[in-house]
Structure 1
Amino acid sequence: MEYLRAFLVGGIICVIGQLLMDGAKLTSAHVLVLFVTLGVILTAIGIYDPIVDFGGAGATVPLPGFGYALAKGAVKGVKTSGLLGAFTGGVSAASGGVAAAIVFGYTMAVLFTPKSKK
């Protein structure tokens, strides 16, 4: 059942993103910024936590989940380091995911021949 909930939540997030790109003619960069920002805002007002509790990885892996991690890290940073933690907490909370994306992206670029779009 946990897999089904993750699939549903992640799928709904992806459908919303696709509808924004198709219907509102937003670029993928606009959707990226919008989703990360919404993840932070929804976490700040307490709406995203229940979504994460219900959807698990379906809510934390997509782009709003990155905003969620940033917001949670900033809150934790403020509690441990004061005002400076507001700036450093989000970065440290999301650093594992960013580092993994860089390592795996570089590995794929080395293993496979990149081709330009035509």
Structure 2
Amino acid sequence: MEYVRAFLAGGLLCAIVQLIIDRGKWTPAGVAGSLVVFGVLLGFGGVYDPFVAWAGAGATMPLSGFGYWLAKGAMAEPRPEGFVETGAAVFRFAGALFAFIVAGSFAAALTCKPKG
């Protein structure tokens, strides 16, 4: 049942984002940035936690989930002092995810043929 919930939640998020891109005047980059900010805000507010508990990977794999993990990283340290320590706290918590994204993007860039 966990897979079904993840599929439904992730599919619903992706469908909503696709509708926003198709019907609205948003660019894909604008929607992507907004999803990260949305995830950070909901992560700091504690609203995203119950959704992650219910949906699992369906909530953490979209870009809103990346924002959620960044917020969790900032809240993991008791009281980081200053901008640099806050950034370090974020990437200690979400660094593996960020490294996976960078490595996957690099591999895709090497193997895919660009248009144009």
Q: Tell me, yes or no, whether TM beats 0.5.
A: yes
The match for 2:10 is: 10
Q: Are residues 109 and 33 of structure 1, via their aligned partners in 2, closer, same or farther at CA, if it must alter by over 3 Å? A: closer
Q: CA deviation at 1:25?
A: 2.2
Question: For 1:11-90, what aligned pairs fall within 5 Å after superposition?
Answer: 11-77=11-77, 79=78, 82-84=80-82, 85-90=85-90
Between the aligned partners of 1:108 and 1:28, the Cα distance in structure 2 is: 19
- Mean alpha-carbon deviation: is it higher for 14-23 or for 98-107? 98-107
Which letter maps to 1:60? T
* Structure 2: gaps spanning 5 or more residues: none
Q: Judge conservation of contact 1:70–1:89 (CA < 8 Å) in 2.
A: no
The match for 1:115 is: 113
Q: Judge conservation of contact 1:40–1:70 (CA < 8 Å) in 2.
A: yes
Per-residue CA shift, 1:56-83, capped at 9, x if unaligned?
0000111011011000000012x1x532
Runs of 4+ in 1 over 6 A off after TM superposition: none
* Structure 1: gaps spanning 5 or more residues: none
How many residue pairs match? The answer is 114
Report % sequence identity: 42
Q: Judge conservation of contact 2:80–2:89 (CA < 8 Å) in 1.
A: no
Q: Give the RMSD, CA atoms, in angstroms.
A: 1.7
Which letter maps to 1:17? V
